[in-house]
Structure 1
Amino acid sequence: MIFKKGELFSGPGGMSRGANNAAVVHPESGEEFRIEHLWANDYDPDSCKTFEANICNDHPESVHCSPVEELPIGDRDKLPDIDCLAFGFPCNDYSQVGEQQGLDGKYGPLYSYGVKAIEEYKPKFFVAENVGGLQNANEGQAFIQILKELRECGYVLTPHLYKFEEYGIPQSRHRILIVGIREDLHNQGVHFRVPSPINKEQQRTSKEALEDPPIFDYAPNHELPKHTERVKKMLSYIPPGFNAWYAGIPEDLQLKVKGAKLSSIYKRLDPNRPAYTVTGSGGGGTHMYHWQENRALTNRERARLQTFPDDFVFIGSKESVRKQIGMAVPVDGAKIVFEAVLKSFAGITYDWIEPERKVQLEYLEDKQNKKAKELASLV
């Protein structure tokens, strides 16, 4: 069974590459269950070019580069029928790094185009992704509103806060994914479960990700960053896992700013742990720093932490590529979720856990018990 996939807010293609890599074979019938790209949309020209180069199999016209508001949803000549939909709707207004304007922000309402596509195409399933801060935006109301609208489309929802380092991704990255199975298919026995994490001993460290196997010097997007002598000297005093506020840095090399002592500014990776979160923006000192060498990571190294293969070529300037990598869904994380969905359709059992809703429910219990019950009724 092949599921034709449409995607909104596709970025460079982390979610799509993960979906393409996911495949299961029924042990008795031998039937293969997999996902194929059909069409995608993003507003960023460089992201669209990257997606075209790595995902589209010589069909660049399948990527519609425009604001989602201009996408001709429902026009079957341009956006044919699909079996599944993926959409990592913009996180700017839900991220804990930002102002958390939620539904009141510029990007907050854009999830509604995912709802519009679901209503129009009635796919067999969908996967929506956003930052963990979605749970608390608008005092928890944004999350409830989004779940309610998705539920009203006729889908059984399984929202879960995935801590991707617990799934072998070499990076501490916490994201909410909402999997929706169409209600009629759920009633026929297609029940999605949150796949179980791996054992902690199996978690992959940043050192393993960057060195096993080694990255060839000629790998794409692997240009070494340039630093001033002062920055390199300051880095030489920072041990692995520490940042620019490490007490051992000589006073003449210390940053002359206050606060942010727990931040990732000039923070070195700890080679024995998964990396801290790869981000797509930020000024000096926010580029992630090697545990041993006195330099920031290359874009290829950041892509390794996001589990992109080395032959995945990002198109654009160094800063554009950095943004694409930081905003992407980890390829292997997406693969794990999509494979669990495929197993659900194939009727293949797998290890699973209950979805994590404790934080959201407790938060709403404190605010208004009625809202906690409302959330529980949506999933």
Structure 2
Amino acid sequence: MIFNKGELFCGPGGMSKGAQDALVIHPQTGEEFRIQHIWANDFDADSCKTFAKNICGDENDPSVHLGPVEKLPIGDREVLPDIDCLAFGFPCNDYSQVGKKKGMDGDYGPLYSYGVKAIRAYQPKFFVAENVGGLKSANEGQAFIQILTELEEAGYHLTPHLYKFEEYGVPQARHRIIIVGIRNDLHEEGIHFRVPAPTTPVPEQYVTSKQALTDPPILEFALNHEYPRHGEKVKKMLEHIPEGKNAWHPDIPKELQLNVKGARLSSIYKRLDSNRPAYTVTGSGGGGTHMYHWKENRALTNRERARLQTFPDDFEFIGSRESVRKQIGMAVPVKGVKQIFEAILKTFAGIEYDYVEPEPKLQLENLVKQKSIAAKELAALV
């Protein structure tokens, strides 16, 4: 069985690469269950070229539509054909803990609604939606309730869960809310998605940043592996920063310390800890936010960042060095999302797999109940 997939906010293709790599073969019948790309959209030109080159085989593939989602002809089958599944990692800028957390009041907050629009237009068998953990608390929790409500009202049984990707073999502490929706009629027929059980559930099993970047070693001529250049002061400062520590380590001589008032962000000139997964790969930020090698006195290359996001070394990112950095930082870890797609395929194939219960605090009925209790407590105080 082949599921034809459409995708909004596709970025460079982390979600699609994970879907493309997911393959389930029924042990009795030998039938293959897999997912294939049909169309995708993003507003960033370099991301579209990267996606098209790696997912479609041609960076000018017409199935990848460049432009704002607001102008995408959702529902026009001549431009965007019918699909069996939809993926959308709607922009997280207004929900991130790092940003201003405007939620629905920000420029990006309402963009999830185009995912809902596509779901209503195509009624896919399932969808996968992704966003940052901060989504739950945006607009005092109301944004997440609204999003879940609209997805449910579109006719889907939802399984939202906070996935900690280091527990799924990803060499990075990256936590994301992923909502899997199964169309109601299929759910009623017995297609019940379960959250796949972590494959590396305890710290002793986590894949470390050192393992990710050295096993196997990255070839010198690997794609997107240009080494960064640093001034002498930065290189000297890094000499005094132990692995896992940042620019405010007490051993840094005074003349090399940063002259930044009030800033103590833990990621500023922070080295990786070779014995632990990397901290979260980000796609933006000024000097000192590029992630730093645990031993060498330099920032990581883009290929090293891509390794931490579990992209294969032959996955070529197109664009300037900063554009590539942004693409990698905004992507979904390939290996992590592949396991989610495989669990969905096993669900449709009727194959049992190890699973865990979804995070109770993210279930719509619990969120509404908590909101109601909080409102009553507030009213009592007034």
Same-fold call, TM cutoff 0.5: yes
Give how far 1:365 is off: 6.6
Residue 203 of structure 1: CA displacement? 1.3
Deviation at 1:57, TM superposition (A): 3.4
Contact kept, 8 Å, 1:172 with 1:277, in 2: the verdict is: yes
What aligned pairs does 1:232-247 form with structure 2 within 5 A after superposition? Answer: 232-247=235-250
Q: What whole-Å deviation, never above 9, does each CA across 1:165-185 have from its counterpart, x for those lacking one?
A: 111100000000000000111
2:305: which partner in 1? 302
- Relative to structure 1, the CA distance from residue 264 to residue 149 in structure 2 (aligned partners, 3 Å threshold; closer, same or farther) is same
Equivalent residue, structure 2, for 1:280: 283
DSSP 3-state at the match of 1:147: helix
Kindly provide the amino acid, as one letter, of the partner of residue 8 in structure 2.
Answer: L
SS at match of 1:128: strand
Residues 346 and 352, structure 2, Cα contact 8 Å, conserved in 1: yes
1:369 aligned onto 2:370: no
Matches within 5 A, 1:220-235: 220-235=223-238
How far apart are residue 311 of structure 1 and its match? 0.3
Query: Once the 2 structures are TM-superposed, how far is the Cα of residue 334 of structure 1 from its aligned partner?
Result: 1.1
Q: Indicate the RMSD between aligned Cα atoms, in angstroms.
A: 1.6
Structure 2 residue aligned with 1:183: 184
**CA distance, structure 2, for counterparts of residue 185 and residue 371 of structure 1:** 36
The residue that corresponds to 1:49 in the other structure is 49
CA distance in 2, matches of 1:73, 1:6: 11
Taking the aligned partners of 2:332 and 2:214, their CA distance within structure 1 comes to 22
- Determine the C-alpha separation between the residues in 2 that align with 1:343 and 1:222: 36
Answering whether residue 249 of structure 2 is matched by residue 254 of structure 1, we say: no
For these two proteins, the number of residue pairs brought into alignment is 372
Structure 2 equivalent of residue 37 of structure 1: 37
Structure 1: gaps (5+ residues)? 373-379
Once residues 70 and 122 of structure 2 are traced to their aligned partners in structure 1, the CA distance between those partners, rounded to angstroms, is 17
Q: Distance in 1 between matches of 2:289 and 2:234?
A: 13
CA distance in 2, matches of 1:185, 1:212: 42
The question of whether the paired residues in 1 share the 8 Å contact of 2:161 and 2:362 is answered with no
Matched, 1:350 2:353: yes
> How far, CA to CA, are the matches of 1:159 and 1:366 in structure 2?
16
Determine the structure 2 residue equivalent to 1:27: 27
Matched residue of 1:24: which SS?
strand
Q: Report the counterpart of residue 314 of structure 1 in structure 2.
A: 317
User: Is the counterpart of residue 333 in structure 1 residue 336 in structure 2?
Assistant: yes
Q: 1:270 corresponds to which letter in structure 2?
A: D
Equivalence for 1:157: 158
Equivalent in the alignment of 1:375: none
Whether the 8 Å contact between 1:21 and 1:335 is mirrored in structure 2 is: yes
Residues in 1 aligned to 2:3 and 2:363: alpha-carbon distance in whole angstroms:
32
Q: For 1:109 and 1:41, how far apart are their aligned partners in 2?
A: 17
Inter-partner Cα distance in structure 2 for 1:334 and 1:367: 30
Aligned counterparts of 2:265 and 2:352: Cα–Cα separation in 1:
42
Letter of the aligned partner of 1:214 in structure 2?
P
- Following TM superposition, by how much is the alpha carbon of 1:363 offset from its aligned partner in structure 2, in angstroms? 8.0
Change (3 A) 1:365 1:149: closer
Partner-residue secondary structure (3-state), 2:240: coil
Give 1:213's aligned residue.
216
Structure 2 CA distance for aligned equivalents of residues 194 and 127 of structure 1: 12
- Partners of 2:76 and 2:15 in 1: CA distance: 24
Higher mean alpha-carbon deviation, 200-209 vs 44-53, is at 200-209
Partner residue, 2:380: none
Q: Which amino acid aligns with 1:236?
A: E
CA distance in 2, matches of 1:193, 1:325: 28
1:130 match:
131
Contact 1:364 1:371 in 2 (8 A): no
Distance 2:129 2:371 in 1: 26
Q: Is the 8 A contact 1:235 1:294 kept in 2?
A: yes
Structure-2 residue corresponding to 1:115 = 116
- Residue 310 of structure 1 aligns with an amino acid whose one-letter code is D
Find the aligned partners of 1:36 and 1:84 in 2 and give their Cα distance. Answer: 10
The TM-score with structure 1 as length reference comes to 0.95
By how many angstroms is 1:61 displaced?
0.4
Report the 3-state secondary structure (helix = DSSP H, G, I; strand = E; otherwise coil) of the residue aligned with 1:213.
coil
Secondary structure, counterpart of 2:110 in structure 1: helix
Q: Pick closer, same or farther for the CA change 1:101–1:226 going to 2, 3 Å.
A: same
